[in-house]
Structures are given as C-alpha cells and as structure tokens.
Amino acid sequence: MAGELVDGLVDLVLPATCAGCDVLAARALCQRCQEALARARPQWTRPDPEPEGLPPTFALAAYAGALSRAIVQYKEENRHELTGALGGLLARVVDRAVGGGAVVLVPVPATAAAVRKRHGDHMLRLTRAAARHVTDAVVARPLKALPRAGDSAELSAARRAIAAREAFAVRPDRAAALRRHLGRAGAAVVLVDDIVTTGATLAAATHRLAEAGVRVDRAVVLAATQRHRETGRRGR
Ligand SMILES: [Zn+2]
C-alpha cells in the first residue's frame, strides 16, 4: 500500500518519457535530445512570402524533430516541466537576435480560451523563463488577444493580415508604462512566440504595438516551419 502510494507520487513528479523522442527518461528531455537542442544555432529566418511589417525574426531551429515534439508536448499536453528547458533555448535566440544590452520581451498573448485549455498563458510562462537567462531583460504585456474569428488558413495574404491584426488589442495603460520605460532605459523590444509559420501573427502584433507608439526591433521564436528560408548569413 505504502509502496503503491510512493509509486503514484513518483509518477506525478517525474515525466515518464522524454518530450523530444519518447524514450523513458527521468527528466522532461533525455540527454540526447538536450544535447541535440544545445547544438542548434539560432538563425535569422523569414517566411516566404514575407508579410509586410515583419520585424527581423530569429528562430532556434526548424520546426522538426525533438524541438517540434517538445513544443507540442509543452503546449498541447500541458507538460509544464518543459518550461525551464524551452525558456533557456528561447533565451539563446534572444541573445542571437539582439546581441546584448537591455531588452524588453513581449510575449504574443494567448486568447482567454487558450489560457483555459492550457492552464495558463503558455508564451507568458516561457517568456518569463527566458528572461531569467538573459542578462538585462524585463517582460512586458502591452497586448491582449481577442477571441479568434475562425481559421485563417483559407484566406488570402491580405485578408489574413487584417484578421491577424483584429486578433490583438493594445492595453493602453501598459503600453504607456512600456513607452515610459523605453524612454528611460532605451531597451530593444523583442516580440516572443513559439513558432513562426506565415509570420502574420508577428507582423500583426508589431503593427498593433506601432499604433501604440512602441517599435518592435526583433521577433524571436523557438521554431520556424519549413516554408522559411534560413537567412543567417544576411543577419550577421
Ligand atoms: Zn529524447
């Protein structure tokens, strides 16, 4: 009886399998997946076609392999124990994107429905974890997500851009606080998301922030889908 109870507790505390490759593992990511992700070199990336107004965007790697599996496990299977590992990886992308100095990290906000489904705002949690690994970083939340109208996959690029902008609203008081902070500190503003696909979301959030007087300098993501060109050479 006592033995069963202890076993049950261990199951609750320790993930049974690696989120990157499904082997049995004592930690959220096995040694092999950790090493594979540690070898990834963050690169400048851009969707093809590139949406108007997309800031220079950096990704840790392509959306594939252990990285894509870990993101899905974190996001859709609520494996929050991946927060530290994924946040650390995101911090490396931030360092690559801005190359040091003060940074304000702005996570792309989740809708209320997504927050309920995922037991919290998954990008806010990741961004806070990333900030702990960046020398001079604060997290700001000047945007909120509005309920989504529907799937935008079938829309033209122009209509998708409009739909994406309608997905966000500025929080005026928080935007004002951010502008004051930037006026004092002169930090780089970095938009943070998990995946970039068409770039419409990042471009839309950038547009909304520009309307509120906040210029986004860079965007960083963990993974870029395969429709992207790696443009690391030009980004250096
Ligand atoms: Zn693994």
How far is the centre of ligand 1, averaged over its atoms, from the C-alpha of 158 (Å)?
Answer: 40
The reply to whether 13 falls in a domain is no
CA pair distance 43, 220, nearest whole angstrom: 10
Is residue 69 within 8 Å of 61, Cβ to Cβ? no
The reply to whether 30 falls in a domain is no
The reply to whether 230 falls in a domain is yes
The reply to whether 135 falls in a domain is yes
Range of the domain at 48: 41-235
Whole-number Cα distances in Å, 160 to 79, 152, 165, 167, 225: 31, 6, 9, 11, 18
How far is the centre of ligand 1, averaged over its atoms, from the C-alpha of 73 (Å)?
Answer: 12
Q: pLDDT at position 230, please?
A: 58
CB atoms within 10 A of CB 32: 14
The reply to whether 27 falls in a domain is no
Q: Report H helices in 25-64.
A: 31-39
CA pair distance 56, 22, nearest whole angstrom: 34
Is residue 171 within 8 Å of 157, Cβ to Cβ? no
How many separate helices (H) and strands (E) can be counted in the chain?
10, 9
pTM summary value = 0.87
How far is the centre of ligand 1, averaged over its atoms, from the C-alpha of 154 (Å)?
Answer: 35
Q: pLDDT at position 9, please?
A: 53
Is residue 200 within 8 Å of 161, Cβ to Cβ? yes
The reply to whether 33 falls in a domain is no
How far is the centre of ligand 1, averaged over its atoms, from the C-alpha of 23 (Å)?
Answer: 6
Give the count of alpha carbons within 13 A of 179, CB side only: 13
How far is the centre of ligand 1, averaged over its atoms, from the C-alpha of 163 (Å)?
Answer: 37
Q: pLDDT at position 236, please?
A: 33
Residue type, 26: A
Closest to 23 (Cα-Cα) out of 77, 87, 69: 69
* Domain of residue 164, CATH code: 3.40.50
How far is the centre of ligand 1, averaged over its atoms, from the C-alpha of 85 (Å)?
Answer: 13
Closest to 221 (Cα-Cα) out of 111, 52, 102, 75: 75
DSSP secondary structure code for residue 36 in this structure:
H
Residue type, 68: S
How far is the centre of ligand 1, averaged over its atoms, from the C-alpha of 29 (Å)?
Answer: 5
Q: Which residues contact 141 (CB under 8 A, 6 or more apart)?
A: 106, 107, 109, 124, 171, 174
The reply to whether 65 falls in a domain is yes
Is residue 29 within 8 Å of 19, Cβ to Cβ? yes
pLDDT per residue of the chain (236 residues) written in tens, 0 to 9: 444 555 555 555 555 899 999 899 888 999 999 999 999 999 999 999 999 999 999 999 999 999 999 999 999 999 999 999 999 999 999 999 999 899 999 999 999 999 999 899 999 999 999 999 999 999 999 999 998 766 666 777 778 778 888 899 999 999 999 999 999 878 999 999 999 999 999 999 999 999 999 999 999 999 999 766 655 444 33
Overall number of domains in the chain? 1
How far is the centre of ligand 1, averaged over its atoms, from the C-alpha of 22 (Å)?
Answer: 6
Is residue 124 within 8 Å of 107, Cβ to Cβ? yes
The reply to whether 7 falls in a domain is no
